[in-house]
Chains A and B, each alone.
Chain A
Amino acid sequence: SQQGEEDPQALSIQEGENATMNCSYKTSINNLQWYRQNSGRGLVHLILIRSNEREKHSGRLRVTLDTSKKSSSLLITASRAADTASYFCAAYGNNRLAFGKGNQVVVIP
């Protein structure tokens, strides 16, 4: 069953703006991972944050994790047209990644 839930589901922004997506999960986790997917095919790993970490950065990406609220956020700064994709959070625990339904992000040039 789906565990992660992203909010909002669809986001349309202008190039250069920041995009923020939130995710919640239901059970205890070892880590939480964010992925990008284009055209409904392969998932590209973006960033992993461990359960004992609160914030992590990678390039234009910033991820936060609040285990007390069972939530995470992904911030993409200075968005580009190439960032247009679906973004999924996936909570890792119990031998598996539990994905949310995904956020469709459209960056308008």
Chain B
Amino acid sequence: GAGVSQTPSNKVTEKGKYVELRCDPISGHTALYWYRQSLGQGPEFLIYFQGTGAADDSGLPNDRFFAVRPEGSVSTLKIQRTERGDSAVYLCASSLQGATYNEQFFGPGTRLTVL
């Protein structure tokens, strides 16, 4: 499996619940990104990791959103007290060193539905 993988592919939850979304990047890719895509829109940036550290989290909409990448590989996006407006497809991407001259490769996404 050479591509970016994300689990689960679909997640349905109730308003107020906590969810975790997982991303497994391409092996050897040090840069990892999370994006969120609402229906009919392009993806919007959430957070960027270089190695283990969040190099730029300015896209996170509020403090209910948090992401970690403790070992510099797998990342988890965590959403507390989910709201209906959080419903979207959450996309993860990785690139070799950060996308200055490298492509970002995207996973299939996790479709989150908050009822």
Contact = CB atoms under 8 A, between A and B. Distances in A.
Interface residues of B, number: 29
Contacts, number: 73
Interface of A: 1-2, 4, 30-31, 33, 35, 40-45, 48, 50, 88, 90, 92, 94-102
Contact of A101 (B41, B59, B100, B106): B41
B103 A42 contact: no
Contact of B104 (A33, A40, A50): A33
B45 to A, nearest CB: 4
Interface of B: 33, 35, 37, 39-45, 48, 55-56, 59, 89, 91, 93, 98-109
Given A31-B100, A102-B41, 6 more contacts: A35-B106, A43-B93, A44-B106, A95-B98, A96-B48, A97-B35
A40 B109 CA distance: 9
Contacts of A98: 45
